[in-house]
Homo-oligomer: A and B are copies of this chain.
Amino acid sequence: MKEGPDISRIAALIGDPARANMLTALMAGKALTATELAAEAGVTAQTASGHLAKLRDGGLVQVRKQGRHKYFALAHGDVAATLEALMGLAASELRTRTGPKDAAMRQARVCYNHLAGQRGVQMFSCMLGRGDLREDGEDVTITPQGAAFAADFGVDLEALSSARAPLCRACLDWSERRTHLAGSLGRAMLTRMEEMRWLRRDPDSRVIAFLSTGEMAFQQAFPLD
């Protein structure tokens, strides 16, 4: 035994219901304060403080102090991807009781900071199919054709490329069990769609609602097959 990294340490971190609720809430991508996360987890502020310190020590969340508030967010995209993988396992056991919100969640939702669900998979698959993106192993790269599309879409690739974060990244979708686009380009695409009023984000959950005009524009931009 004792092979590879200590998997149980961080699995135990996610294994507590309160902490799992916090992490799930952070999957929406927005940074939240300690008290907001306490409410999300259903515990008092003191308890939440202890949990958040552990998550921080474990490297799962990052913290930014702003005045008397402390904003927490997921540390990086890998954490979000791992949480999605866990959700995939949990969902496969639990075929029963698909809540009312689940249908909307499966269709379109926020994953960390990018588009996920059926729509996210559709966008990624379409862009891959027409040659905007190229997938080589885990690495996803953008083609010149894709760069032209992004510019036309209103995304400033120059600004994104200069940042440290990877431009494109593959993320496994737990509901569709296929890949969708993460990375700074994925984030920018979602932001742009919000700017263009294609969709609206539910402030209290991860659900994304497409407006009727946005739905049409999306289907035209990323047609199925």
Which residues of A come within 8 Å of B, CB atoms?
Answer: 1-17, 19-21, 23-25, 40-42, 58-60, 78-79, 81-83, 85-94, 99, 101-102, 105, 121, 124-125, 128-129, 135-139, 170, 172-174, 177-180, 205-206
A173 to B138, CA, bound (A): 9
- The smallest beta-carbon distance between A41 and chain B, in angstroms, is 7
Would you mind naming 7 contact pairs between A and B with Cβ atoms under 8 Å apart? A3-B25, A4-B174, A5-B90, A5-B94, A6-B20, A13-B15, A79-B89
**What is the total number of copies of this protein in its complex?**
2
A20 touches B4 (CB 8 A): no
- The smallest beta-carbon distance between A90 and chain B, in angstroms, is 4
B172 touches A90 (CB 8 A): no
Given contacts A1-B40, A206-B3, contact A82 B89 (CB under 8 A): yes
B58, B102, B138, B173: the one contacting A93 at CB < 8 Å is B58
B7 touches A24 (CB 8 A): yes
B78 touches A179 (CB 8 A): no
A89 touches B78 (CB 8 A): yes
A172 touches B138 (CB 8 A): yes
Query: Of all chain B residues, which has the CB nearest A8?
Result: B20
Closest 5 CB pairs of A and B: A12-B15, A8-B20, A15-B15, A5-B90, A11-B14
A87 touches B8 (CB 8 A): no
A125 touches B136 (CB 8 A): yes
B15 touches A179 (CB 8 A): no
B85 touches A82 (CB 8 A): yes
A15 touches B5 (CB 8 A): no
Residues from chain B with a CB closer than 8 A to the CB of A137 are 121, 124-125, 128, 135, 178-180
B42 touches A1 (CB 8 A): yes
Given contacts A14-B11, A137-B125, contact A81 B86 (CB under 8 A): no
A1 touches B14 (CB 8 A): no
A206 to B2, CA, bound (A): 11
- The smallest beta-carbon distance between A213 and chain B, in angstroms, is 27
